Amino acid sequence: MSYRVDFFRMLEGKTPVADVPFNKFFADPGEKIGVVGVMPSICGFGNFDADGKNVWGVPHEIDVNGTGYMPAPGQFILPDVTKWRDIIKAPYQDGYDWEKASQADLANFEWDPETQVTSMFGGGGGYFLQLASFMGFEGAMLAMYDEPDALHELLDYLCDYDIWMVKNLLKYYPMAEVMGMGDDNATELNPFVSMEHFREFLLPRYKRVADLLKENGKIVSYHNCGRCEDFMDDMVGIGVQIWNSATPVNDLLAFKEKYDNKIILEIAVRFFLDATEEQTRQKVRDTIDKYAPGGAFVWMSGSATMNADQGGQVDAWVYDEVDKYGKGFYLR
């Protein structure tokens, strides 16, 4: 059966018809597999100027492969959150030609509505990471204690911008069925913020975005690749139906059981460049055996080696084993 059939079966808590679903992150134009990405240029992650600044004016450092980047250490633009009105200016809102941009973005867009699902990652929601890029991690967390009123005002400003963005994305890119928001507010060991601060500062803004998406009939996806299980009940409560890049540092089996396999886990597995072929393939088999029963499981690709040239061989082993071992898994 098609990815589309299996996808909607899983949203109902059913198992896929036969094979383990495989999300290649985004299919290439014309490729008849899985998920087709709707990629508005305004949401581009690599939108940096000649000085390496993003659209908010935050300096970034880019890795040698040209595919990974992070805010430049120590070059924070907002040392005092109470001064945010003087420094933080939302981009694009004056004179952005949405119609022209969307026509260019969609000029070569293709998808098969019988077999594929369309997805867009541009729904906003990255409030903790946005704060960290402005202020540094320590600055963002200290602001929650020292200047909560100013921080609420800044977060409302960022969320208002997201709402403006999402309303236009809904209008000019209506074919996107799944819309994703994301915020890496946790490390591989623990969340960056307490549950109290999560619910005070972050969750209400996530909910505003999720409500707008649901009101427009979209399936809400949430990216968080850290140990964020503490927050996921609340995220499901605001309408999240897909946990994107869920990692096994979380108790994913307990999560599947709690939600009766109705919240799709797009599981991201860590692989190592020095692993042998057999070690790599065995890890694929073990992961499928552990998490695929009952459904709610999608194999996410490119989760470990996509930024390293030498990772190409590891990726090839992974993709081949997912294809072979996942074939007919639900018929066994």
Tens of pLDDT, residue by residue over 185-230, are: 999 999 999 999 999 999 999 999 999 999 999 999 999 999 999 9
Average pLDDT of the chain is 91
Q: Does the pLDDT value for residue 308 go beyond 60?
A: no
51 pLDDT above the threshold of 80: yes
The parent domain of residue 251 ranges over 3-331
Radius of gyration of the chain (CA): 20
For residue 285, the domain's CATH number is 3.20.20.210
Instruction: Please state whether beta strands 69-71 and 60-62 pair in parallel, antiparallel, or not at all (unpaired).
Output: antiparallel
What per-residue confidence (pLDDT) applies to 31? 61
Task: Assess whether pLDDT exceeds 60 at residue 146.
Answer: yes
DSSP string of 53-98, one letter each residue: B-TTS-BEEE-TTSS-EEEPTT--S-S-GGGHHHH---SSTTT--H
Q: Give tens-digit pLDDT for 174-195.
A: 999 999 999 999 999 999 999 9
Number of domains the chain contains: 1
